[in-house]
Structure 1
């Protein structure tokens, strides 16, 4: 994901009567990107040691009482408890106590490829294996290592599984039930996360195989 390194200071409108924010330097970039469940609308804040990106709620969602206007649209600014893993280091006083602005975490898109194979175990009965490869942005991108992948079996039998990608960005799931010839089995990637942060997915997130 390309990141802009140039910043320009602009006037912003903070819409809230419940908050007081002191000594903040606020910046915008022109680029907009999306961590799963959040938006980077280009808002940058200097927290005393560095410039950090601040997470906004998804477009059309306004649950946060702290809001900001940009280019005619209003965005909710995500708040977390101080000390949260995604605490930006910027604190504000609210009617329910001190909160922190949530930083936006830049992640590449998780490009998913799924390989399905079967192995005969007895006469017309087989076991199916799904091997998932996760790479950055495209099928030829570098592997994404150490992320948690959650998926679901479907077809002849079901079940939910999870695993962690290895040094090649791969994780394999072996079916725990025998499947008879003439049926089919599918595997679907439901989500990929790291430290509870969810990736946007691209590529092929579901595959099936005939037995």
Structure 2
């Protein structure tokens, strides 16, 4: 079974090291038909004064930007969706990339959360999501997170609805939401 050995300059957080081990395990699983229990990841740490490159001492690099935000990509998406449901726009906006865009059924594109609130207000009083799963995929400079589940809420006249399927696809850049694409069956449920 595969054994991966990584050398790090001492100084990274335990949380970051655990996440690195998990992501390395996942990378092997996606490349080799290996049982996760058979994949070993070993992190070796060296003291900063025991390491040189180019004849000069080095210090550990900074954490990835998604750790700087403080959350793994799926947690960023979950925080965003929770903030939107609570209509906590300042919290939601802190998670957005400056080039954020969103696309909703019917090809409706928006770049500001205020636009979404106005647009959605004509369609329903409120909507909540029951999320069944998050799937995360690293794509070089971007991380894609897809979540799916069911919507429930109330139409503008107060009539409740439930069991409406949805899929949200998010792209994150440097730990911030760059793009959201939404698919759901609200139009079918309303008819």
Structure 1 length as normaliser, TM-score?
0.30
| Structure whose CA Rg is larger | 1
Q: Which has the higher helix share?
A: 2
Q: Which has the higher strand share?
A: 1
Structure 2 length as normaliser, TM-score?
0.32
